[in-house]
Amino acid sequence: MEGVIRVSDPSHASSGPDTAVDENLLEELISEAQTALPFELPDLANRCASALGLDTALIYLVDLQQQLLIPLDEALDSLPVDRSSAGWAYRTVSPQVAAADDGLIIWMPLVDGSERLGVLAVRTASLDEMRMRRSRMLAHLFAMLITSKRAYSDWLAARSRTAPMQLPAEMLRAFLPPHTVGSRRCVSTAVLEPAYDIAGDAYDHSVVKNVLHTMILDSMGHDLIAGLTTSVAMAAARNARRGGGGLADVVGSVDRALAEWLPDHFCTGVLCRLDAETGMLHWVNCGHPPPLLIRAERVLAGALDSPPQPPIGLAGPLAPAARQVHETRLEPGDCVLLYTDGVVEARDADGAEFGLDRFTDFIIRSHAAGQRPAEVLRLLIHAILDYQRNQLRDDVTILLFEWRPQHR
């Protein structure tokens, strides 16, 4: 069993001079990285580690359900996120140092912005500030490389899967953004299950300058048409948003797109716009469970309730004349929670619902314990799956965003 060592443990620190770096070789490797194929990244990581005076470097990517860390080296075994030093580094987004037979392993989190990708295992005979700094640099480099290459690599996508992907899920996942996006002032994170068999649920979040846009959708049905409805809705929303439209314009664009291209199909949803400078929140609720506002470790009942509006995509006389946009000002540290009804309607073996109180209590307790928002939702979605014995009757989607202007 590997032993955990504190990074600052002086008994494992090297007091020798800095190892010289061959800058020409390092420049050559970084240049090569731009054109390297994804399956060549494991070898490239080792050569970059060697050029930095380290021994080896291994890349592990997290699977879709954030339960395993899967090595890009196909000869190696996966590691559990919840019961390993590697998993600790992933969960906390902090380096973890562990003893190995021939020295030390530095587990470095691989992070792109706010999105956790996996970990980098750096082997070294000894540890000092210089080696720790170079390990961190290596992790930053390969996080950027993985992010840039996974957009076009079926191999990287396949390595992060542990089960066959159903067609509706494959289509929807092509539209989904990263689990987590954000800036110094706000962060949005989301999870979605069942990971390989989703159909009608989806989320979206995007940062435009100092504005965070978020959206959650739930289409009628659980088949390919439901997935297509959600995909068209997401495309229409992004098209209007990128064209500079306001929140009412975005919802109107989705209404028109579904009415034109998929008549008789609709979805419920909540769309939000948060000004990260001022904390002003605007939202539109279209036939969906109301968002929840969490402030000072409690839910403010009814804070984001609004008069009912029809679902998105209704045509003819059922179509709304105009969408109502509501607004409120958040306080620093406020969290807003969007979710689909599959969350609270999950049932255990005795038929008892997971329920809204259990749902919000889990988030509040995890947040109070100092968990990062992405880790809060990872733990929550696993708790919901366990509660329903991994047999979800409906899609479950949760999106949580937090305004934290004090983070500079």
Nearest to 16 by CA among 133, 137, 131: 131
Confirm whether 5 is domain-assigned.
Answer: no
Q: Are residues 144 and 273 in the same domain?
A: no
Q: Is 232 exposed, middle or buried (0-12, 13-18, 19+ CB in 10 A)?
A: buried
Q: Are residues 120 and 242 in the same domain?
A: no
Contact 385, 395 (CB under 8 A): no
Confirm whether 2 is domain-assigned.
Answer: no
Q: Identify the pLDDT of residue 397.
A: 95
Q: Are residues 339 and 222 in the same domain?
A: yes
Q: Are residues 193 and 112 in the same domain?
A: no
Q: Identify the pLDDT of residue 407.
A: 60
Q: Are residues 63 and 169 in the same domain?
A: no
Task: Give per-residue pLDDT as tens, 192-220.
Answer: 998 899 888 999 999 999 999 999 999 98
d(CA 194, CA 148): 26
Which of 157, 185, 220 terminates a domain? The answer is 157
Partners of 104 in the β-ladder: 99, 124
Q: Are residues 271 and 386 in the same domain?
A: yes
Q: Identify the pLDDT of residue 304.
A: 97
Residue 243: CATH number of its domain: 3.60.40.10
Q: Virtual CA dihedral for 62, 403, 337, 157, nearest 10 degrees?
A: -20
Confirm whether 189 is domain-assigned.
Answer: yes
Confirm whether 279 is domain-assigned.
Answer: yes
Q: Are residues 267 and 316 in the same domain?
A: yes
Nearest to 346 by CA among 382, 381, 394: 394
Q: Are residues 108 and 183 in the same domain?
A: no
Nearest to 204 by CA among 228, 161, 235: 235
Matching residue, tokens 């996120």: 81
Pairing of strands 201-208, 211-219: antiparallel
Q: Are residues 338 and 271 in the same domain?
A: yes
Q: Identify the pLDDT of residue 19.
A: 56
* Cα angle 105-108-111, degrees, rounded to a multiple of 5: 160
Q: Which two tokens stand for residue 43?
A: 């070898």
Q: Are residues 145 and 196 in the same domain?
A: no
Q: Are residues 63 and 121 in the same domain?
A: yes
d(CA 52, CA 55): 9
Pairing of strands 4-5, 96-100: antiparallel
Residue 109: CATH number of its domain: 3.30.450.40
Q: Identify the pLDDT of residue 112.
A: 94
Q: Identify the pLDDT of residue 7.
A: 45
Q: Are residues 70 and 128 in the same domain?
A: yes
d(CA 277, CA 405): 7
Q: Identify the pLDDT of residue 188.
A: 97
Expressed as residue numbers, the domain containing 33 is 23-157
Helix 23-35 × helix 129-150 angle, to 10°: 20
In degrees and rounded to multiples of 5, residue 62 shows phi and psi of -75, 145
Q: How much of the chain is in helix, strand and coil states, percent to nearest 5?
A: 35, 25, 40
Indicate the number of domains in the chain. 2
pLDDT in tens, the chain (408 residues): 345 444 444 444 444 444 566 778 878 888 898 899 999 999 999 999 999 999 999 999 999 999 999 999 999 999 999 999 999 999 999 999 999 888 999 999 999 989 999 999 999 999 999 999 999 999 999 999 999 999 899 999 999 999 999 999 999 999 999 999 988 899 999 999 988 998 889 999 999 999 999 999 999 877 899 999 999 999 999 999 999 999 999 999 999 999 999 988 999 999 999 999 999 999 999 999 999 999 999 999 999 999 989 999 987 777 777 899 999 999 999 999 999 988 888 888 888 888 899 999 999 999 888 899 999 999 999 999 999 887 777 789 999 999 999 765
